[in-house]
Structures are given as C-alpha cells and as structure tokens.
Amino acid sequence: MTREFPDRPWVGIGVAAFRGDAVLLARRAKPPRMGQWSLPGGAQHLGETAHEAARRELREETGIEVGPLILADVVDALTRDSDGRVRFHYTIVDFAAEWLSGEAQAADDAQEVTWAPLDALDAYGLTTEARAVIILAKERLAARR
C-alpha cells in the first residue's frame, strides 16, 4: 500500500519533546506538509511498538533521546485532493517527553530542527492540531510531576 491515496490510514507517531519552556520542532522534508514545521515523527513500522517507533523516529530525525513517554493525544491528519479524494490519511499517536540527551540536528525526513519557545509558537505556522497537542503534552507532563 502506498502512502499517497491509501486504502486505509497509516499509523503515524509524533513526539512533543520539551527542554524547559521550549518544544522541539522539525521542518518537514517530504509530503504531506513539506516545508512546514511540525512535531518530529513518522510512520510506525510493522512489528514495532508505538513507544519504539517514537524513540526511533525522534533519534532518526533529530538525534535526541528523551525520558519516559506519556501519551498526549491521538489525531487524524487528512489531506484531500481537489476532487475530495483522500490523498493522505495518518492517524497520529502523539507522545510527550522531556529531553534527556543529544544535540538536536536535522536528519532523515527533517530539513531543519529548532527548539521553539512555547510563547513564540505563532512564528512557526503550526497547524491547529499540532498547537493543541503541544499544549496538551506540556499539561500532561506537568501533571505527571
């Protein structure tokens, strides 16, 4: 099955990784939403748990490691073509975690990465869903403490 015009949703994994009052964002290097800022992540592989996928994607795209993962939210990312057909459909399992080690560097599917201050997220053109996940993720981490 291909990712473009699929016959079922793909499982995507995202990680809202925090270092103090900043969240790690990645500028996407591939469709969908190529060139836009979002949470680092990607597709889950067959035989891989969601937690394993989250850590792998974060390591591959940014080079960082995080502490314990907490489920932040599950969202659907749908992109339709001009005829209304589903071009992309990802059901994304988003986790929250605190930075543990590593220097963030863009690799794999990320053109660029940055630690974005939470009070300056407007500058990154995030989707409404991504902003909501970041806020919820920060709240869930604070509640865990």
Contact 75, 133 (CB under 8 A): yes
Is the pLDDT assigned to residue 13 strictly greater than 80? Answer: yes
What's the CA gap between 88 and 77, in Å, rounded?
8
Q: Where are the alpha helices (DSSP H) in 23-119?
A: 50-62
Question: How confident is residue 145, by pLDDT bands cut at 50, 70 and 90?
Answer: confident
What's the CA gap between 130 and 125, in Å, rounded?
10
Provide CB contacts within 8 A for 63, sequence distance 6+: 102, 103, 104, 105, 107
Total-model pTM: 0.91
For each of the domains in the chain, give its residue range(s) and CATH number, in order of start: 10-144 (3.90.79.10)
Q: Give the pLDDT confidence score for residue 109 in this predicted structure.
A: 83
What is the tens place of the pLDDT at every residue in 39-64? 999 999 999 999 999 999 999 999 99
Question: Which has the higher per-residue pLDDT, 106 or 47?
Answer: 47
- Specify burial of residue 56 (Cβ count, 10 A radius: 0-12, 13-18, 19+): middle
What is the tens place of the pLDDT at every residue in 66-97? 999 999 999 998 999 999 999 999 999 999 99
